[in-house]
Structure 1
Amino acid sequence: MCAISSFEFKVSIVIPVFNAEKFIERAVESALSQAETAEVILVEDGSEDDSYEVCQSLNENYERVQLYIHNGHINKGAGATRNLGIQKACFDYIAFLDADDFYLENRFKEAKKVLQSTADADGVYEAIGVHFESSSEKKIWINKKNKRLITTIEDGIDPDELFWEQSPIGSKGYTSLDGLTIKKESLKKVGVFNPSLRLHQDTELFMKLAMACNLYPGQVNKPVAMRGVHSDNRITKTRPVEDSITNYKKMLNSAYEWALANGYTKEAESLKYLIKYSRIHRTSAINYNRSLVNLKQYLKTLRETPTIALEGSFYINLLKFLLKYVWINVRK
């Protein structure tokens, strides 16, 4: 039974679990160590290993740990699994943690300050770091994936500008679910996660939140949580470029349809251009990313430039840099 005090900052931690038997206990204990954690909600997503048994043990040993499964104990994916956790949450604020990640000390210290001092704040985003389970994963992450050791927005951004400045529209970085603290009612306002997206549900959610809510920066210069990188998680997996672009385009389409349906016209226009671009471009991932940076500069002009006037110059310049990067690729 849910017992809520409106005078305290208490957080429901939602942890989706799939094939993470080695890491769940670490994640749960890091969440329970935070003074603001009112409950930890484990949603076991039909794992093929012993994750469910580990979750059962944690549920039995800790009063604040709750355990749920989908009907039939089937696998539904991270989006649907997090949605079930949100539905079951008893408290006004929600934070997320992947089962192979963990929180650092004072995870909610800055978030609590911002939320208590800023009347219109719906949520707070903060930085997360990387924890490598072995040296081989570190090599893949840095050398092959060209990833940073901290995931964050580069500097504090006004909530009204966040959609335009964060990835994938802007170039000032992106946020992670492990670093988000958000009002439960704000999540429901944007329709929570799209369960049809198997990848990039978090990116789509952040775009919707940036359009409809006021998200403020917390601790963005150093991590409040650590992402676990190991041989079994999707972060270290290499996918064909075509598959990556297809999944990305599906996410953009979902965000575009939501923006259009909810009256965010300029934001929908920017997403439309990004979708068209992903259909055209079929060169290497490196050149895709390089030319995407150029495209983002055009997207930012949508706030100031009438759509009709933009169309001609946009496609002329888009064609120019696409030809440039295709030519570079052909020469190689």
Structure 2
Amino acid sequence: MNQPLVSVVIIFWNAERFLREAIESVFAQAYANWELLLVDDGSTDGSTAIARSCVEQDPQRVRYLEHPGHANRGMSASRNLGIRNAQGAYVAFVDADDVWFSNTLEEQVGILEAYPEAAMAYGPIEYWYSWTGMPEDRERDYVEKLGVTPNTVIQPPKLLPLFLQDKAAVPSGILVRRHVIERVGGFEDTFRGEYEDQVFCVKICLSAPIFASGQCWYRYRQHRDSCVLTGQRTGETHSARLFFLNWVTKYLSEQKSKDRGVWRALSLEFWRFTHPRAFRLLRRGDHLVNQINGFFAQHGGIK
């Protein structure tokens, strides 16, 4: 198999607790042709020293990047800094508190080499609780449902309405062709935290074919200080969701998208956002109907 260079981007901000483990998962890859870009988003803890020591250990493959003045610019701006400095044909992202399985790059590169029409490859991720080593967490790990037919190329924009409505997993643990990232303009700097990844996926899924694999390559560490759980705890997730939906509306208009499925999904998401109680009642009704249908299917219908 051809082995093109992969640029791996790890952004971090005060991530000394987990950063070294994320870096080690890159070094553990069976696929050898990679470069690692460590992007410091203004850390004030020991993670800067961890990143710099990693560069000293392998200066040929690892680079340290930061914003001017060691500023904190947010997640999107930090990913874009990594992308601007990337030299690989492909770009991959690992969050500083997560890890890869050792076969991740080998299999993802193999897929994109075999399917040149696909702009991106992804698979379901593992929600990883057992990292704590605590007995009560050992059985909590699970792999999310993909929500689409696995091991297929999904044409645009079919995946977009599915993940907007939580009917399919948001692409995570992705490998993307660098020229496609550059074509869509990378990440949006205005999204400093939550939804920065979904904004990027909207751009890709609207315009390019995506390979959805059934293979899990990514361990998503569950801990109370993660971006998502912090947003839920502080109440910022609600406003972040509205900001995201408004951005999607504007972006679809700018791209002159006329896909009815995408616009319908977006309208439903706005309705769900503004009518959460009604939506929950509808979901309960759907669940009850499914249970009834399942009962009759199991027992051969009404007699």
TM-score normalised by L of structure 2: 0.80
Aligned position for 2:200: 205
The 1:109–1:207 alpha-carbon spacing in structure 2 relative to 1, beyond 3 Å, is same
SS at match of 2:7: strand
| Residue 82 of structure 1 pairs with residue 74 of structure 2 | no
Q: Of 132, 156, 181, which residue of structure 2 is paired with 1:134? A: 132
Contact 2:161 2:266 in 1 (8 A): no
Question: 1:259, CA displacement in angstroms?
Answer: 1.8
Per-residue deviation, residues 7-30 of structure 1 (Å, max 9, x unmatched): 632210000011111211111121
| Residue 259 of structure 1 pairs with residue 252 of structure 2 | yes
Instruction: Provide the C-alpha distance between the structure 1 equivalents of 2:188 and 2:265, rounded to a whole number of angstroms.
Output: 17
The 1:138–1:21 alpha-carbon spacing in structure 2 relative to 1, beyond 3 Å, is farther
Instruction: Provide the C-alpha distance between the structure 1 equivalents of 2:231 and 2:134, rounded to a whole number of angstroms.
Output: 14
Per-residue deviation, residues 68-102 of structure 1 (Å, max 9, x unmatched): 00111111111111111011101110000001111
The 1:101–1:288 alpha-carbon spacing in structure 2 relative to 1, beyond 3 Å, is farther
- Written as runs of structure 1 = structure 2, the 5 A alignment for 1:1-332 is 8-34=3-29, 35-63=31-59, 64-132=61-129, 133-134=131-132, 149-154=142-147, 155-156=149-150, 158-160=153-155, 162-164=158-160, 166-169=162-165, 171-176=167-172, 179-197=173-191, 198-218=193-213, 220-221=214-215, 223-237=216-230, 239=232, 243-266=236-259, 269-270=263-264, 272-274=266-268, 276-278=270-272, 280-283=274-277, 287=280, 290=283
Aligned position for 2:290: none
Q: How many percent of aligned residue pairs carry the same amino acid?
A: 23
Question: 1:37, CA displacement in angstroms?
Answer: 4.2
Question: 1:236, CA displacement in angstroms?
Answer: 3.6
Question: 1:240, CA displacement in angstroms?
Answer: 6.2
Question: 1:241, CA displacement in angstroms?
Answer: 9.3
The 1:36–1:94 alpha-carbon spacing in structure 2 relative to 1, beyond 3 Å, is farther
Question: 1:287, CA displacement in angstroms?
Answer: 2.6
Structure 1 counterpart of 2:132, which letter? S
Contact 1:83 1:193 in 2 (8 A): yes
Structure 1 counterpart of 2:212, which letter? P
Structure 2 counterpart of 1:117, which letter? A
How many residue pairs align between the two structures?
A: 277
Aligned position for 1:320: none
Question: 1:106, CA displacement in angstroms?
Answer: 1.0
Q: Which moved more, 1:242-251 or 1:197-206?
A: 242-251
The 1:226–1:272 alpha-carbon spacing in structure 2 relative to 1, beyond 3 Å, is closer
Instruction: Provide the C-alpha distance between the structure 2 equivalents of 1:37 and 1:50, rounded to a whole number of angstroms.
Output: 28
Per-residue deviation, residues 229-267 of structure 1 (Å, max 9, x unmatched): 223223443626964232112112212212221122226
The 1:69–1:32 alpha-carbon spacing in structure 2 relative to 1, beyond 3 Å, is same
Question: 1:135, CA displacement in angstroms?
Answer: 6.6
Provide structure 1 residue ranges, at least 5 long, that are not aligned to the other structure: 1-6, 143-147, 295-332
Contact 1:30 1:104 in 2 (8 A): yes
Pairwise CA RMSD of aligned residues? 3.1
SS at match of 2:38: strand
TM-score normalised by L of structure 1: 0.74
Higher relative contact order (CA 8 A, sep 6+): 2
Structure 1 counterpart of 2:171, which letter? T
Question: 1:136, CA displacement in angstroms?
Answer: 7.6
